[in-house]
Amino acid sequence: MPAFWHFAARMLRTKFQLGAALLLAAISAVGLGAGLLSLGPILKILLDPAQSGGLHALVETHNAGADWTRIPDWIASRLPTDPYDSVLLLVASLAVLILIGASANFLHQFLSLTLCTRVVAAVRMESFRHAVHLPLSLVVRRGPAEFTSRVLRDSSELQQGLIALTSRAVAQVTKGVAAFCVAIYSDWRLTAVAVVAAPVMGVVLRKFGKRIRRAAKGALEKQESLLRVTNESMQGLRAVKSGTAESDAVHRFDRANRSVVQEELRLRTARAASGPVIEGIALLAVLCFALIAAKQIIDEHLLIEQFVLTFAALGVAAGSLRPLAGLVNDIQAAGAPSERLSELLREAREDDTDRRGTGRPALRRHAAEVRFEGITFRYPGAERPAIVGADLTVRFGERVAIVGPNGCGKTTLLSLLPRLLVPTEGRVLVDGIDLAGVSLRSLRSQLGVVTQETVLIRGTIEENIRFGNFGATREQVVDAARRAHADGFIERMPQRYDAEVSEQGASLSGGQRQRVAIARAILRNPSILLLDEATSQVDAESEEQIAAAIAEFGRGRTVILIAHRLSTVLGADRIVMMEAGRIVDTGTHEALLSRCEPYRRLFRSQFAASDAEAVSP
């Protein structure tokens, strides 16, 4: 699981906190080991209290044959000789060790959980930052739900694996090792019997780990599909309800939900089987241990207190190591989301060249012309190009309307200017400079974009206007709203610019949303204004206000707009007619009506009959 260990290695960046957590785990384990060692003297005293002579006599006997483990005489002389006082002292010491161990364990868990939370938060932030800088074509092709699932769900699963590794596994392993060391100290021969079972358990855990990792990856992929179905239904709830498609939405969700259940049940089987198998192996090892120990005691080769201490230490070691089967499962399960996050972070960002510092120059402020030169563009997997051999020049300050039937390539052509899409062939130039050779930020900072589907965030009116321009002042926001003809409805709201906007702008009308979007574009002070059917979903009054805002703000800027209403077309300096991905003609409304048959067909079918009669020659 290289991806998981790659993310786990990030915890080494905070070496002090990680080292402190490990040290506290070791302190807790040492306390446990010392507590187990104290059982030996207690057993000796209790098994023969009349002859034991208390702790003082036990220490004297120990020192007589000890070398580096000798207890100093000044300590031995102060130990009690009475059996009960000796047991009382040992129990009091054990209580102190328990308190120290518990405190160390708490601090270990506290530091480990803090470390895991911060590491995963950093991974989540890095993944989201990477996702929003991916090429638009990649995100559209694979679907936003996939990237949302990876950023949120997969990072959460990674966190569970890191917690299992650093918090729970470390605590259990250190305690198990401490208890195991006590068992070796008590009787290494009996302990060796228990060690035989360890390799068998390792092989079993490895087998189950592979199955769990595969099942976890399948479950994440199905959950991604479930998220996509849920988002589609909830975001399009208006269409679902108006089309009485609730049953269809529920059916699609049920089908995706069943797939998730199927994959998670596969994961369940592997998880459920691993624990009992490991426990069965451990119990067989205990039975073998008990038989060998019984033979040794009967033959008087093993003291009863040694057996009890060794058995107790191994029992504690087994109890500490027993949860490792589940923890290893959690770590293995985290392997799949780790791989998916790594795949996301390996995807090439659209600004990779800029980030590597290869010297892409900034684009000077536009002042001459925008030129589409020999443009051909084909979407990945498409049978035919969306644009074929398009040539178009737009002079600075000109207002150009692009028209054509649905699917003719209007939006695709417009998307090439901010480099949301990259031409398959040809170049897009601004003032004679190929946009492929300039930094993205310098290009997009000159663009103001208003689309048919306005994107509003859940926040205040001011926050929505300042979106992407967080350094703007309140005065600049108010001025932008005024120039967008949005100040009228904003001033009528109870909290004005501090009024809350619902998710996706549901609390505003279509015209209000568009005027907020125009205010956002105005705040950028762009040299080029791109409008993609900005008035297609508004009423006549809103359209009039939006048209006035665009006309006023568009002076001294290059304006390229996709239009489907006659009033917008007539306000343009020039009209570009597209059909089947090709630019078939350009000119004024009157000129195109007189010579361009595709434009005449579009005029008769798309524009309102009343408008057509009013302006037809």
How far apart, in whole angstroms, are the C-alpha atoms of residue 259 and residue 236?
23
* Residue 315 lies inside a defined structural domain of this protein: yes
Residues 397 and 286 in one domain: no
How far apart, in whole angstroms, are the C-alpha atoms of residue 391 and residue 511?
34
* Residue 428 or residue 533, greater confidence: 428
Q: What value does the mean pLDDT take over residues 169-192? A: 68
Strand stretches in 537-600, DSSP E:
558-562, 574-579, 582-587
- Quote the domain boundaries for residue 300: 7-346
Q: What is the pLDDT of residues 46-95, one digit of tens each?
A: 555 555 556 666 666 666 665 666 667 777 677 766 766 767 776 777 77
- Two tokens at 543? 């359209």
- Two tokens at 183? 């068992």
DSSP per-residue letters across 417-464? TTTSS--SEEEEEETTEEGGGS-HHHHHTTEEEE-SS----SEEHHHH
Residue 39 is which amino acid? L
Residues 322 and 414 in one domain: no
* Residue 357 lies inside a defined structural domain of this protein: no
Last residue of a domain, one of 299, 314, 346: 346
Split at pLDDT 50, 70, 90, the class of 257 is confident
Residues 330 and 463 in one domain: no
Give the strands of the sheet with 425-430, arranged side by side. Answer: 387-395, 369-377, 425-430, 433-434
pLDDT at 283 exceeding the cut of 70: no
What torsion do the CA atoms of 279, 284, 288, 293 make, to the nearest 10 degrees? 30
How far apart, in whole angstroms, are the C-alpha atoms of residue 240 and residue 229?
13
Instruction: Give how many domains the chain has, as a whole number.
Output: 2
How far apart, in whole angstroms, are the C-alpha atoms of residue 307 and residue 297?
8
Residues 337 and 380 in one domain: no
Last residue of a domain, one of 346, 381, 406: 346
Distances (CA, A) of 615 to 103, 232, 533, 565, 612: 86, 42, 21, 13, 6
Question: Coil, helix or strand for 11?
Answer: helix
How far apart, in whole angstroms, are the C-alpha atoms of residue 438 and residue 198?
61
Residues 392 and 280 in one domain: no
Residues 287 and 374 in one domain: no
pLDDT at 615 exceeding the cut of 70: no
* Residue 1 lies inside a defined structural domain of this protein: no
Q: What is the pLDDT of residues 198-238, one digit of tens each?
A: 565 556 656 666 666 666 777 777 777 777 777 666 666 55
pLDDT at 262 exceeding the cut of 50: yes
What torsion do the CA atoms of 46, 51, 53, 54 make, to the nearest 10 degrees? 0
Residues 95 and 217 in one domain: yes
**CATH number of the domain that residue 101 is part of:** 1.20.1560.10
- Two tokens at 225? 């599909």
Q: What is the pLDDT of residue 372?
A: 92
Residue 437 is which amino acid? G
Residues 297 and 394 in one domain: no
Burial class (CB in 10 A: 0-12, 13-18, 19+), 559: buried
Split at pLDDT 50, 70, 90, the class of 533 is confident
Average pLDDT, the chain: 75
* Residue 309 lies inside a defined structural domain of this protein: yes
Crossing angle of helices 15-37 and 39-47, in 10° steps, is 10
* Residue 400 or residue 61, greater confidence: 400
How far apart, in whole angstroms, are the C-alpha atoms of residue 337 and residue 220?
7
Q: Is the CB of residue 222 less than 8 Å from the CB of residue 253?
A: no
Q: Is the CB of residue 400 less than 8 Å from the CB of residue 562?
A: no
* Residue 14 or residue 291, greater confidence: 14
Residues 496 and 538 in one domain: yes
Residues 552 and 444 in one domain: yes
Q: Is the CB of residue 450 less than 8 Å from the CB of residue 532?
A: yes
How far apart, in whole angstroms, are the C-alpha atoms of residue 179 and residue 317?
5
Q: What is the pLDDT of residues 576-613, one digit of tens each?
A: 998 888 888 888 888 888 888 888 888 877 654 434 44
* Residue 359 lies inside a defined structural domain of this protein: no
Q: What is the pLDDT of residues 119-170, one digit of tens each?
A: 888 888 888 888 878 887 777 777 777 788 888 888 888 888 888 777 776 7
64 CB neighbour count, 10 Å cutoff? 8
Split at pLDDT 50, 70, 90, the class of 371 is very high
* Residue 501 lies inside a defined structural domain of this protein: yes
How far apart, in whole angstroms, are the C-alpha atoms of residue 518 and residue 526?
11
* Residue 356 lies inside a defined structural domain of this protein: no
pTM recorded for the entire structure:
0.70
Q: What is the pLDDT of residue 610?
A: 33
Share of the chain above pLDDT 90, in %: 2
* Residue 155 lies inside a defined structural domain of this protein: yes
The helix or strand, by DSSP H or E, that contains position 187, with its residue range, turns out to be: none
317 CB neighbour count, 10 Å cutoff? 23
**CATH number of the domain that residue 536 is part of:** 3.40.50.300
Q: Which phi and psi (to 5°) does residue 585 adopt?
A: -170, 155
Q: Is the CB of residue 497 less than 8 Å from the CB of residue 475?
A: no
Q: What is the pLDDT of residue 198?
A: 59
Share of the chain above pLDDT 70, in %: 65
How far apart, in whole angstroms, are the C-alpha atoms of residue 508 and residue 487?
14
How far apart, in whole angstroms, are the C-alpha atoms of residue 300 and residue 449?
91
Residues 288 and 435 in one domain: no
Instruction: Give the residue among 415, 393, 411 at the shortest CA–CA distance from 573.
Output: 393
Residues 284 and 376 in one domain: no
